A and B are shown apart, each in its own frame.
Chain A
């Protein structure tokens, strides 16, 4: 595939000045996995992709219609260019505990609710219903406090919040952490669907190796703040990922 078909290019990015740089690209419709022992750089790398953190070297380039691309400079710019980032700790950095389910949903996609500059709550409610059905969110009602939702449904609501913005790139930081098995299967289905049918590029950081192997086409395994191995296809087995995580093989 030519390089300009990529949604996002990773140009010689290193997390530390002395660490080896990584060059890569995220294609449309691809699910890229990030794995590694906790604190070995995969989370920092995901934050670099989101513009939340500056890499020590290199840059992230977002694809633009003119073909040249835009260097990523910050998080809000990333959001404006179609990146969605789902944080790991949904209670600390995701949900607004004192707001309703509907307001929690609408916070990043308010532009779609605007009519003559004002928020049309009925329109927001319709959009919410669409995503509630698609992600099968179980909630008492749109006006219920968001704290009345179960952990899995809170996670799905956060996902709905970002999907409602119709992003091109979805960065997921351990999306199934603390989520029950049924919800997990629903989420996997949605992720695959988004990649296959809507051409989104997904980057999934996961602490569960099984998840990475099942879901992703490719996985980058981190060790000591750099990409120690990039596995794909037949070579991408749970054992191989674990071996790379521990620096063997």
Chain B
């Protein structure tokens, strides 16, 4: 009964869920050892940066009216560089009580910059965050011209034994957030910003905060990336941006705003990850992988558009 209701309510994520079940079955059949419960920790650690990057991309999209943050990948790379090159190598700080807040706050600060550009100065979000993308990519390469460094054991364990912790933390934060007025306002803003304005909501502030949230989660994703690669690498981060956006679109987060959430974004990320791991089992080249991502993205966006059209028809019929 509850499940049936959940299935109905999450209409937009059905495709992603079906794909998830299918891909998981394929993966388990292909490679039972890798997907044995004993290696779930490692497997989740491999998937974690992509999952977190997808979740990070979601809040900015939810705000609607072209809200998007393409700088998620570079934020991850930048956080990776700051943590390893700046704090661990430079200052010799390895305690989680410094590294975790630094990752979160760095991300949130960049999110605030994006939010200022996109909502207060009203620069088109894709242009504004593309600017941040380039800025951060350059800055990361300046701090860290070549891969370097290593990480303390507790960071490594986030990509292995304890890989569930950061994701559970994000999930708990989202559950709490869902019960704040902010969540309602964000969904309403994405659904129809003019209606939201005439409901007395501070639309600009809500959108601004969605960028800050995106940045903060991207900071966590940066920490997870650091855990996975166990060092600092200036080139890995930016590659996450486009995959994360395809993942959320696939998961059913509407690029027009107002629809989707944590589960949708995480499902989309998991789909992409499983697809990747199934294809690499067959030793296909990275070019084929790219084609697969592209195909999936086009498919997802088409399904989303069809859904929107059906929704609009329903609206007209109801009026």
A residues lining the B interface (CB < 8 Å): 52, 75-76, 79-80, 85, 87, 91-99, 103, 106-108, 110-111, 114, 117-121, 143, 145, 147-151, 154, 161
Partner of A76, one of B202, B258, B314: B202
**Contact A75:B319 (CB < 8 A) given known A96-B188, A98-B191:** no
Instruction: Using A91-B319, A118-B180 as known contacts, say yes or no to A108 and B200 having CB atoms under 8 A apart.
Output: yes
A93 adjacent to B191 (CB under 8 Å): no
| Contacts A96-B258, A97-B191, A103-B187 known; 19 new A-B pairs at CB < 8 A | A75-B198, A85-B198, A97-B192, A98-B187, A98-B259, A99-B258, A103-B184, A103-B188, A107-B196, A108-B200, A117-B180, A119-B179, A119-B181, A119-B184, A147-B318, A149-B318, A150-B318, A151-B318, A161-B199
7 A-B pairs with the lowest CB-CB distances in the bound complex, closest first:
A79-B200, A96-B191, A118-B179, A110-B181, A98-B191, A147-B318, A98-B258
Does B207 lie at the interface of the complex (its beta carbon under 8 Å from any beta carbon of A)? no
Asked if A93 contacts B194 (CB within 8 A), the reply is yes
Interface string of B275-319 (1 = CB under 8 A from A): 000000000000000000000000000000000000100110011
Asked if A107 contacts B180 (CB within 8 A), the reply is no
Cα A129 to Cα B185 with chains together (Å): 22
The SS class assigned to the B binding surface is helix
| Residues of A close to B315: CB separation below 8 A | 91, 97, 147
Q: Which residues of B contact A103 (CB under 8 A)?
A: 184, 187-188
**Which residue of chain A lies nearest to B201 when distances are taken between CB atoms in the complex?**
A107
Beta-carbon contact of B311 and A108 below 8 Å: no
Given contacts A103-B184, A147-B315, A147-B318, contact A96 B196 (CB under 8 A): yes
A97 to B199, CA, bound (A): 14
Known: A85-B198, A93-B198. A148 touches B318 (CB 8 A): yes
Contacts of B200 in A (CB 8 A): 75-76, 79-80, 108
Candidates A76, A97, A106; contact of B311 at CB < 8 Å: A97
Quick check: B184 and A107 within 8 Å, CB to CB?
Answer: yes
In whole angstroms, what is the CA distance A150 to B187 when docked? 23
